[in-house]
Homo-oligomer: A and B are copies of this chain.
Amino acid sequence: MAHPLFDKHQTLLAGALEAIRGRGYWNPYSENPASYGDDAIEEGRKAFSAYFDAQFYLDQPGVMGRVIAGHSPFGLALDISFPQCSPDALIAAARGAMPAWIRAGAEVRAGVCAEILARLNERSMEIAHAVMHTTGQSLMMAFQSGGPQAQARGLEAVAQAWGEMKHVPESVLWERPQGKNPPLVIEKRFTVVPRGVSLVMACATAPTLAAYPALFASLATGNPVIVKPHPAAILPLAITVALARQTLKEAGFDASLVSLLVDDSGTPVAKDVAVKGDIRLIDCAGRTEYGEWFEENARQAHVFAQKSGVNCVVVESTGDYKGMLRNLAVTLSLHSGQTALTPRTILVSSEGIKTPDGTYAPEQFGRDLSLAISALLEDNARAVEVLGAIQSPDTVTRIDALRELGAESGQVLRDSSPLPHPQWPQARVHTPLLLRIEVSDRQIYEEERLGPISCVVETATASESFAIAERIMREKGAATFSVHSVNPVMQQLAEDVAIRAGVALYFNLTGGLYVTQSAPFSDFNGTGANPASSASVVDVAFVASRFHVVQSSRHAG
């Protein structure tokens, strides 16, 4: 079934599928701002500013009122009002839009999805400003991770979905031999049928990056999608939804295939909507208790939950002590540790860290890591680029609570302090807190705590470090496991732990790669194999569980 949008994007889709199957570096959407034009940043800022003090236009049914987005983590007043629609009206409209979208078939859906992504890409800088002023990410991170990387994850989902759907033929003549009689010939037709209405809940710290894979996996497989952003990060997804609706409409489909459901933190709607019978797919990202609530209560739906965990680091030996410290310092500081991939607990044995220059004791390592963080953040302009702002005031409260706990039960290796932002005087910027915690104080270092907070824990032996890391990651979940060791026996031990705990393993990162960076088309973000996630972005199960195949059979001829 030829369609201009499939023709337009077929090469891109084929390239994406090839990249997924090879898992080498591939980058369909440039991460270099210069590629978007000389004035791209400024034009993006203008487009973003046009939303201030205004009503965001979205032609959706069942408007009941409006929700106002308030202040940015950088202190900027947004005052954007979004239409709040009745969930039942959105669901009814979504259901009505399904039949034509099913009939369109896999190729057309993939083509339309790729077109939405192409248009999102053109507006990357506008979205970057929107992501920055909702998540607290610095502009460059908001651009790269909230723009082209999020789009790439969306394309990855579309390509995975298309790759699986195109294995289902539209029709076939099935001919069974019948001995001397002529064969029995049956004409069979196969239709990819979506599960139903898909509810995608986006988190506040990475709204587009977390939502796009689910949005596009569901849409490409035929499911209409209702996007429910975190009340603190509506704008980037409002822009996304408006653009998706416009593209669908222009392609001849019902805009109701994608809609925006907003709420405010005082009257949350997600849990009420999630248990409605028509909601058949749920994607959520956020705290573990949040994800688990949907897994336990929304029994009529298939739930894909990106929850949180306690990512661990085991430091045993290194060939490059300074490189290791620098890499860890950047990793712990990037977006103030507000990512699901940031390490939380660093395990070092009292035997010390073996290096070519001798062995460093755990106390020395704690001091050195603290100094490396301070060196990284010495220059204020650079510091705020790395740290960004703290998305939620709760995170600041958490820093304060941990600082007290640390002072009681261990030692504050590096204190957190507010940092003035040269451009945004009201910005909520705080430097990382690094604690030394006793191995007996499990309740401190075994708890997930989003934000710029990490613990160094001294163990008796490297083996104990691995044992503790394994226990934490299996019980609490983890998305990344970093190991510094040049010892092949320890590396094998680490591999075994990673496979048992179902966690992505990183060895001896001392250069320009950080565990907080997950590369589209190459890295699986989350594994689904431990409590930190029940989905892996973007593996085959992530798309295959969103559709069924319905067949019809009849005698041929």
Interface residues of A (CB under 8 A from B): 20-25, 99, 102, 164, 167-169, 172-178, 184, 186, 188, 190-191, 193, 195, 295-296, 299, 495-496, 498-499, 502-513, 519, 522-524, 527-529, 536, 539-541, 544-545, 548-555
Contact = CB atoms under 8 A, between A and B. Distances in A.
Top 5 nearest A-B pairs (CB, nearest first) are: A507-B554, A505-B552, A529-B548, A541-B544, A540-B544
28 contacts: A24-B172, A24-B173, A25-B176, A172-B522, A176-B519, A186-B513, A193-B499, A193-B502, A495-B552, A498-B550, A504-B550, A504-B552, A505-B552, A506-B552, A506-B553, A506-B554, A509-B554, A509-B555, A513-B553, A513-B555, A523-B551, A523-B553, A524-B549, A524-B551, A527-B549, A529-B548, A529-B550, A540-B544
A551 to B, nearest CB: 5
A512 B175 CA distance: 12
Contact of A505 (B174, B184, B541, B553): B553
A188 to B, nearest CB: 7
Contacts of A510: 555
Contacts of A541: 541, 544-545
Nearest to A530: B548
B174 A25 contact: yes
B549 A519 contact: no
B184 A499 contact: no
Contact of A178 (B167, B184, B512): B512
B184 A540 contact: no
Contacts of A511: 184, 555
Contacts of A176: 25, 519
Contacts of A540: 164, 167, 540, 544
A158 B174 CA distance: 22
Contacts of A509: 553-555
Q: In the complex this chain forms, how many copies of it are found?
A: 2
B548 A527 contact: yes
Contacts of A164: 540
A503 B549 CA distance: 9
A170 to B, nearest CB: 10
A502 B550 contact: yes
Contacts of A20: 167
A496 B536 CA distance: 33
Given A23-B169, A23-B190, A505-B551, 9 more contacts: A23-B168, A25-B174, A186-B513, A195-B529, A295-B299, A506-B553, A507-B552, A509-B555, A541-B545
A348 to B, nearest CB: 20
Contacts of A23: 168-169, 172, 174, 188, 190
Contact of A169 (B22, B167, B299, B552): B22
Given A174-B25, A544-B544, A553 B512 contact: no
A549 B522 contact: no
Given A167-B21, A188-B23, A540-B540, A519 B174 contact: yes
A389 B174 CA distance: 31
Contacts of A174: 23-25, 519, 522
Contacts of A524: 549, 551
A175 to B, nearest CB: 5
A511 B178 CA distance: 12
Contacts of A544: 539-541, 544-545
Contact of A99 (B173, B188, B496, B528): B496
Given A499-B102, A505-B550, A172 B22 contact: yes
A296 B295 CA distance: 11
Nearest to A167: B21
Q: Which one of A193, A510, A553 has the greatest number of beta carbons of chain B within 10 Å?
A: A553
A145 to B, nearest CB: 15
Contact of A508 (B21, B498, B548, B554): B554
Contacts of A527: 193, 548-550
Given A499-B193, A522-B188, A553-B506, A545 B548 contact: no
